[in-house]
Amino acid sequence: MIGNSRLHWAWFAGDTLQDAWDTQHFPAAEVESIIQHWTSGLLPTTIFGEPFLSGYSSNPYLPLYIASVIPEQTPLWQTYPVAHVITLEDVPLLGVYPTLGIDRALAVLGAGETYNYPVLVIDAGTALTFTGVDDHRHLVGGAILPGLKLQLESLAHNTAALPSISLKRQLPNRWAIDTLTAIESGVIYTLLAGIREFIADWLQRFPNSPIALTGGDADLLLYYLHSRYPKFYPYLVTDRHLIFWGIKFVAITKNLAG
């Protein structure tokens, strides 16, 4: 999965997830040399210090399923001889609109297949997105806002006095009396209040629907949500692999591997 912040990798043997990890984006020349390694059977076990297809060393023609929200990066990986690019047409959801992000479609499909429909996915990635589908796999809709890191970075980058901060696993004082806590408080409590509204509205329409959290900030967000809104506890799950479950479903049902 080519996301806006980084690449998300999963290695499947049959339909069993063996390993999952993230790497940075690679420049074109680097991608070319990675693919050369794969196709020549010389598989590096680490790239830039990240595990990379570790444990996998025999068959260089492992099929590669690609989903991407960065159009320019997709063709770089398509030079691999058994690359399959997953597009919205491959995803068995009804009522999608043409520009819906493939990550959102796959995550909500993966969530529905794993936790049942109807389902709401909250993806706390570069952007934070809500994506809901009903029990007929029909897209209800969703929303997009800047993710946690993006909110913090945009404050730091567009002001003279505000520093760049990262969030801790602890709720700040709402009524802060220092700058760092004031930023934390503003971003966290506003985000949580907004998320609460979306969840409450969703549960009103679809009582008992599971709500699946994914993306780089899912664990932190779940911690905050549990602390602030314990009544949502029974509905919330975190699953970092929703998109991979979606890709697996598409790959198996469409038999994309041929």
Ligand X SMILES: CC(C)(COP(=O)(O)O)[C@@H](O)C(=O)NCCC(=O)O
Ligand Y SMILES: Nc1ncnc2c1ncn2[C@@H]1O[C@H](COP(=O)(O)OP(=O)(O)O)[C@@H](O)[C@H]1O
Contacting positions for ligand X (CB under 6 A): 3-4, 69, 99-101, 103-104, 123, 125-127, 129, 144
Of 4-12, 109-117, 129-137, 155-163, the segment contacting ligand Y by CB under 6 A is: 4-12
Closest CA to 2 of 66, 68, 53, 50: 68
> Catalytic annotation on 217?
no
Report the nearest approach of ligand X to the CB of residue 33 (Å).
25
Report the nearest approach of ligand Y to the CB of residue 204 (Å).
28
**In sequence order, what are the residues at sequence separation of 6 or more whose Cβ sits closer than 8 angstroms to the Cβ of residue 247?**
1, 10, 65, 67, 86, 106, 110
**In sequence order, what are the residues at sequence separation of 6 or more whose Cβ sits closer than 8 angstroms to the Cβ of residue 189?**
174
Helix axes 242-253, 102-115, angle to 10 degrees: 90
Tell me the CB-side half-sphere exposure of residue 208, using CA atoms within 13 A: 3
**Among residues 90, 103, 217, 239, which one is catalytic?**
103
Instruction: Check the annotation: does 201 bind a ligand.
Output: no
Binding residues for ligand Y, total number by CB under 6 A: 12
How far apart CA 107 and CA 100 sit, in angstroms, is 12
Which of the residues 135 through 154 are near ligand Y (CB under 6 A)? 147-149
Q: What does 217 bind: ligand X, ligand Y, none (CB cut-off 5 to 8 Å by kind)?
A: ligand Y
- 147 is written with which tokens? 């993710």
Query: In terms of DSSP bridges, do strands 7-13 and 16-23 run parallel, antiparallel, or are they unpaired?
Result: antiparallel
Report the nearest approach of ligand X to the CB of residue 57 (Å).
31
If binding is defined by CB under 6 A, does position 172 make contact with ligand Y?
no
How far apart CA 204 and CA 258 sit, in angstroms, is 43
Report the nearest approach of ligand X to the CB of residue 225 (Å).
19
**Residue of minimal Cβ distance to ligand X:** 101
Q: What does 144 bind: ligand Y, ligand X, none (CB cut-off 5 to 8 Å by kind)?
A: ligand X
Instruction: Check the annotation: does 22 bind a ligand.
Output: no
Question: So which residues are the catalytic ones?
Answer: 103
Would you list which residues are annotated within the binding site for ATP? 126
Which residues fall in the annotated binding site?
97, 101-104, 123, 126, 179
